[in-house]
């Protein structure tokens, strides 16, 4: 296909499409009028990020971490993980039932929930199984999206669950809250009362607008820093209970078999983690000289305190700059300027959170958690830079 100064093929150029003979395609933007305003904004046709849908109802679709800047994940690129497809819920028919060990079993409509005082917080949501491909089936041709694309970061607005629990008169015998979704999987998880009263949110907005269907429209549970599976989407019921329910997703799944012959249960908090997003596969460093090594760090236990970057496979480390403010239980952007000299290099990042937790090496992780562990893969990720500037995953394999 013939190309002009405009890097797009002519069939994808918005101006070329409107004007006969594609004349505008050869003109500079200062010599031709632009497009009119629109009801909904669209990305530049030059920008085409994409998730990785599989066409399977129970599957995942991953955030293209390597294509994003800053810390907020655009809502339409938030990762998806569903257990029976995306439910479509009419907000006028939506109901949230809260009952169990409470003085007043209560039904709330969506309008009811919006009458309560709300809060707005920035938090990541991360699937507990994020990182599995990079640990269980690593190969050089993995992108940050394929390794860690099951984490996304949004501004969430909603009612603190604590407010609703006071509203219905939660009783002191209630030690857990069973949260249940209104989709076809009716997914249920037990949430400790301490978390419910601390920072749990009944969220109805994401990045300034109603939740997207894939994020639980109209209402989801948000448990900052806890595994994504517990942040029940399409939330329809909360039951105050005295002991955990032992539902499928807190027994058969989302438990961590360990080398000592046990399985860790109720492992809710996401460990401190970081990943370089650039330069990474499939990018190629074009020239020697200065470039930023940048990426994301986050912890389910609080703020990121520090991120170290190594360019020599972990022999020496340099503290990276954090794009502040580092918010608790939220993605934090780090950056280190690096002068590539054209020689092979091994890039790594390791984050420390405010509890002092440090990401383990892959070897340390494997020794403690074993090859068969199934969730919470927070080992250091390593990238090889070849002499030709091509970057590949898994330098430490």
Partner 1 sequence: MTRGHTAALALVLVAGAGLVSFGSCAPDSDRRTSAVARPANVAPPPSAPNHFGIGRPASAAEVAAWDLDVNSRGVGLPAGSGTYAAGATIFAARCVACHGARGEGTGTGASAIPRLIGRDPRQGFPFGSDLKYVRTVGNYWPYATTLYDYLRRTMPLNAPGSLRANEVYSLTAFLLAENEIIPRDLVIDAHTLPRVRMPARNRFVPDNRTGGPTFR
User: Is residue 257 near partner 1 by the rule CB under 8 A?
Assistant: yes
Among 71, 153, 277, 373, binds partner 1 (CB under 8 A): 373
CA-nearest of 54, 88, 80 to 213 is 88
DSSP state of 170: B
User: Is residue 356 near partner 1 by the rule CB under 8 A?
Assistant: yes
Stretch that binds partner 1, among 11-19, 28-36, 96-104, 144-152 (CB under 8 A): 96-104
Smaller CB separation from partner 1, 109 or 335: 109
Among 255, 277, 280, 311, binds partner 1 (CB under 8 A): 255
**Cβ contacts of 47 within 8 Å, gap of 6 or more:** none
Among 243, 287, 341, 388, binds partner 1 (CB under 8 A): 243
* DSSP string for residues in 27-80: S-GGGS------SS----TT--------S-TT-EE---GGG--SSPPPGGGS-E
CA-nearest of 368, 329, 320, 371 to 348 is 320
User: Is residue 324 near partner 1 by the rule CB under 8 A?
Assistant: no
Total length of the chain: 397
User: Is residue 84 near partner 1 by the rule CB under 8 A?
Assistant: yes
Among 69, 173, 198, 318, binds partner 1 (CB under 8 A): 198
Smaller CB separation from partner 1, 182 or 394: 182
- Identify residues 52-81 at the interface with partner 1 (CB under 8 A): 54, 56-60
Smaller CB separation from partner 1, 4 or 267: 267
* DSSP string for residues in 14-27: HHHHHSGGGGGGGS
Stretch that binds partner 1, among 25-33, 35-43, 236-244, 277-285 (CB under 8 A): 236-244
User: Is residue 45 near partner 1 by the rule CB under 8 A?
Assistant: no
Which two tokens mark 130?
């994020």
User: Is residue 34 near partner 1 by the rule CB under 8 A?
Assistant: no
CA-nearest of 384, 389, 386, 361 to 142 is 384
Q: Do 276 and 325 form a contact (C-beta atoms < 8 A)? A: no
User: Is residue 358 near partner 1 by the rule CB under 8 A?
Assistant: yes
Among 19, 107, 337, 363, binds partner 1 (CB under 8 A): 107
Smaller CB separation from partner 1, 72 or 119: 119
Among 268, 281, 338, 377, binds partner 1 (CB under 8 A): 268
Stretch that binds partner 1, among 71-79, 209-217, 247-255, 333-341 (CB under 8 A): 247-255
User: Is residue 105 near partner 1 by the rule CB under 8 A?
Assistant: yes
What are residue 147's phi and psi, to 5 degrees?
-85, -50
Distance from C-alpha of 48 to C-alpha of 132, rounded to nearest angstrom: 26
- Identify residues 160-189 at the interface with partner 1 (CB under 8 A): 160, 162-163, 166-169, 178, 180, 184-188
Q: Do 131 and 336 form a contact (C-beta atoms < 8 A)? A: no
Residue 324 Cα distances to 278, 318, 328, 335, angstroms: 19, 18, 11, 11
Distance from C-alpha of 377 to C-alpha of 134, rounded to nearest angstrom: 9
Smaller CB separation from partner 1, 79 or 268: 268
Smaller CB separation from partner 1, 120 or 318: 120
Stretch that binds partner 1, among 213-221, 275-283, 288-296, 358-366 (CB under 8 A): 358-366
Distance from C-alpha of 58 to C-alpha of 111, rounded to nearest angstrom: 31
Smaller CB separation from partner 1, 69 or 251: 251
Smaller CB separation from partner 1, 269 or 396: 269
Which two tokens mark 305?
């305190």
Among 108, 338, 340, 375, binds partner 1 (CB under 8 A): 108
CA-nearest of 5, 6, 16, 3 to 46 is 6
């Amino acid at each position: 296909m013939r190309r002009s100064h405009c890097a797009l093929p002519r069939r994808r150029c918005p101006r070329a499409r409107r004007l006969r003979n594609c004349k505008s395609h050869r003109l500079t933007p200062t010599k031709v009028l632009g497009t009119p305003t629109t009801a909904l904004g669209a990305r530049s046709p030059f920008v085409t990020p994409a998730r990785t849908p599989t066409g399977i109802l129970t599957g995942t679709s991953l955030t293209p971490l390597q294509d994003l800047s800053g810390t907020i994940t655009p809502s339409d690129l938030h990762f998806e993980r569903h257990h029976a497809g995306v439910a479509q819920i009419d907000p006028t028919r939506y109901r949230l039932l809260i009952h169990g060990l409470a003085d007043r079993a209560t039904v709330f409509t969506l309008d009811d929930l919006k009458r309560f005082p709300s809060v707005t917080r920035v938090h990541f949501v991360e699937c507990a199984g994020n990182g599995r491909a990079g640990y269980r089936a690593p190969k050089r041709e993995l992108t940050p999206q394929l390794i860690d694309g099951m984490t996304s970061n949004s501004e969430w607005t909603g009612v603190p669950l604590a407010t609703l629990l006071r509203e219905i008169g939660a009783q002191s015998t209630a030690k857990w809250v069973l949260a249940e979704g209104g989709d076809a999987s009716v997914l249920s998880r037990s949430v400790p009362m301490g978390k419910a009263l601390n920072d749990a949110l009944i969220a109805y907005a994401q990045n300034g607008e109603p939740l997207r269907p894939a994020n639980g429209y109209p209402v989801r549970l948000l448990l900052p820093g806890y595994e994504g599976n517990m942040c029940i989407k399409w939330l329809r019921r909360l039951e105050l209970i005295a002991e955990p329910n032992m539902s499928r997703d807190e027994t058969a799944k989302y438990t961590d078999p360990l080398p000592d012959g046990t399985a860790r249960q109720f492992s809710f908090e996401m460990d401190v983690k970081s990943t370089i997003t650039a330069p990474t596969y499939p990018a190629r460093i074009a020239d020697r000289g200065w470039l930023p090594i940048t990426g994301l760090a986050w912890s389910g236990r609080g703020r990121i305190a520090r991120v170290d970057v190594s360019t020599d496979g972990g022999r020496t480390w340099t503290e990276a700059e954090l794009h502040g403010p580092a918010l608790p239980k939220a993605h934090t952007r780090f950056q280190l300027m690096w002068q590539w000299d054209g020689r092979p290099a091994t890039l790594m990042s390791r984050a420390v959170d405010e509890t002092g937790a440090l990401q383990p090496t892959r070897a340390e992780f494997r020794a403690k958690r074993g090859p068969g562990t199934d969730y919470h893969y927070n080992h250091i990720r390593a990238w090889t830079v070849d002499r030709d500037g091509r970057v590949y995953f898994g330098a430490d394999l």
